[in-house]
Structures are given as structure tokens and as C-alpha cells.
């Protein structure tokens, strides 16, 4: 499935909201900077990818299974955005 930019950021906002509600500070600390500083350029997409990859690698224990799947899907979408 290919996500539009709107769908991508809606999914990312849902993750951020869920982590805020659970007070999952580690994943939040890795994604909020790249998310808030996103500039729409390749470097902005790359920073989002780094944040998501870091969450996947270091914070797996704080994620529920649907969040694992969402992060994988978001990373695929970032790869496609960078490859355009």
C-alpha cells in the first residue's frame, strides 16, 4: 500500500498521540524533532527515517504490535519519498 503525504502524517500523528497518552517518552524523544522540523525536502524525509528506525531498533518494548506495523509502513513510505 502506498501512502500519500497526508496519510503518512495522519498515521505519524496517531503514533505521536498514542505515545503521548501512554507517556512513552523514549519514542517521542526520537521522532518529535524530525517531525516538527520537517521541511518537505529529502533531508527532512531522511531525518524522519532516522527517527523511525531508531524507535524500531531501540524502543520495540514500548510499542504495541499495531505500532510496529505502522512504523514499518511509514519507513517504506519514506523510502519511496526519498527515491522519487
Tens of pLDDT, residues 18-72 = 999 999 999 999 999 999 999 999 999 999 999 999 999 999 999 999 999 999 9
Tens of pLDDT, residues 26-41 = 999 999 999 999 999 9
User: What is the pLDDT at residue 1?
Assistant: 59
Q: Which residues contact residue 62 at a Cβ distance below 8 angstroms, ignoring those fewer than 6 apart?
A: 19, 22, 24, 26, 27
DSSP, res 61: G
C-alpha span between 74 and 57 (Å, rounded): 15
Amino acid at each position: 500500500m502506498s501512502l500519500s503525504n497526508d496519510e503518512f502524517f495522519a498515521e505519524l500523528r496517531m503514533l505521536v498521540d498514542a505515545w503521548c497518552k501512554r507517556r512513552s517518552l523514549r519514542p517521542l524523544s526520537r521522532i518529535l524533532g524530525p517531525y516538527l522540523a520537517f521541511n518537505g525536502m529529502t533531508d527532512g524525509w531522511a531525518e524522519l527515517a532516522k527517527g523511525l528506525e531508531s524507535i524500531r531498533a531501540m524502543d520495540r518494548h514500548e510499542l504495541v504490535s499495531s505500532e510496529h506495523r505502522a512504523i514499518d509502513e511509514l519507513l517504506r513510505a519514506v523510502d519511496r519519498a526519498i527515491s522519487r
